[in-house]
Amino acid sequence: MNPESLLEAENIAKATIKVSPKSLLTVICPPFVYISFISKYIKGSNVALGAQNIFPEKKGAYTGEISAAMLRSLKVSYSIIGHSERRALGETDEIVAKKLLAAFNAKIIPILCVGESTRDDHGEYLQILKSQIISSLFLLPKAAIKDIVIAYEPIWAIGSEAGSAMSGRDLHETSIFIRKVLVDLYGAKAKETRILYGGSVAPENAANLVKEGEVDGLLVGHMSLKANAFSQILKLVSEIR
């Protein structure tokens, strides 16, 4: 539920669009109430518009929910699905799977969030990750795998400080594991699936996370609300890409 005002949301969006490098795909995902206002700034830029959530049903008596068709009519092309904060509110893998299918059917690219709450010495967290991926994707047709985005967000690494983020080396190992799970399930097309990292991303660690972690991009949380910090992240990553 940030930022708190439309004016602030518009200022952040305009600042982001202004500095977004052409070599990167930048997606901004404002709260629902700001999407229609921000879409006018997106037009003609190299920045894409995304949503923070989506409802799995096409239409009906679901007061307060937002359908994929509604989002698509506002030129939304991406949607975060299964974010750890949504899961903390009770969203299950089954619900996430239905949302992914709804997004896919509406030609909205889903950004599927997965991640363990804690890490153990025996590697059980890897099975948690694998289970999340399998359970969240099971409704999608196999051909869709190359068009979705996986955002790995280890819950234990989420915070406001850069030091909370996982190391590039650990991220590399985990991204390899995620890729292997996807390829085992969907075949060679899964090699095209983009994998992002989210969890205390900041200017201090962005370049290392992408370079050493060997991920395709970043899911930026807290720092996306700070225009200067976010522009630094974009610049640093663009120099790698």
pLDDT of residue 50: 98
Residue 179 sits in a domain of what CATH number? 3.20.20.70
pLDDT at residue 156, as a whole number: 93
Told to judge if 153 belongs to the known catalytic residues of this protein, a careful annotator would answer yes
Q: Where residue 44 falls among pLDDT bands split at 50, 70, 90? A: confident
Q: Which two tokens stand for residue 2?
A: 């940030």
Burial of 5 (0-12, 13-18, 19+ CB in 10 A): exposed
Residue 235 lies in a domain: yes
Tokens of 175: 């991204």
Cα separation, 89 vs 193, whole angstroms:
27
For residue 87, being part of any structural domain is answered with yes
Q: How confident is the model at residue 159 (pLDDT cuts 50, 70, 90)?
A: confident
Which structural domain range is residue 31 located in? 6-240
Give the pLDDT confidence score for residue 165 in this predicted structure. Answer: 87
Question: pLDDT value at position 160?
Answer: 67
Each residue's pLDDT tens digit, 98-113? 999 999 999 999 999 9
Instruction: Answer whether residue 1 is part of any domain.
Output: no
pLDDT of residue 85: 96
| C-alpha to C-alpha distance for 125 and 122, rounded to whole angstroms | 8
How far is 110 from 214, CA to CA, in rounded Å? 21
Torsion of CA 184, 188, 191, 194, to 10 degrees: -80
**Shortest CA distance to 218 belongs to which of 38, 203, 173?**
203
SS3 track for the chain: CCCCCHHHHHHHHHHHHHHCCCCCCEEECCCHHHHHHHHHHHCCCCEEEEECCCECCCCCCCCCCCEHHHHHHCCCCEEEECCHHHHHCCCCHHHHHHHHHHHHHCCCEEEEEECCCCCCCCCHHHHHHHHHHHHHHCCCCHHHHHHCEEEECCHHHCCCCHHHCCCHHHHHHHHHHHHHHHHHHHHHHHHHCEEEECCCCCCCCHHHHHHHHCCCEECCCHHHHCHHHHHHHHHHHHHHC
What is the pLDDT, as a whole number, of residue 49?
Answer: 97
Does this model's pTM top 0.85? My answer is yes
| Average pLDDT of span 31-51 | 95
**Any domain includes 229:** yes
Q: Flag whether 31 is in a domain.
A: yes
For 55, list phi and psi in degrees, rounded to 5: -100, 140
> Which candidate in 4, 57, 116, 153 is catalytic?
153
Q: Mean pLDDT in the chain? A: 95
Do residues 108 and 76 lie in contact, with contact meaning Cβ atoms separated by under 8 Å?
yes
Give pLDDT tens digits for 1-30. Answer: 999 999 999 999 999 999 999 999 999 999
Q: pLDDT value at position 146?
A: 94
Q: Which two tokens stand for residue 99?
A: 């949302």
Q: Which of 57, 83, 85, 204 is catalytic?
A: 83
- How many domains, in total, are found in the chain? 1
Percent of the chain with pLDDT over 90: 93
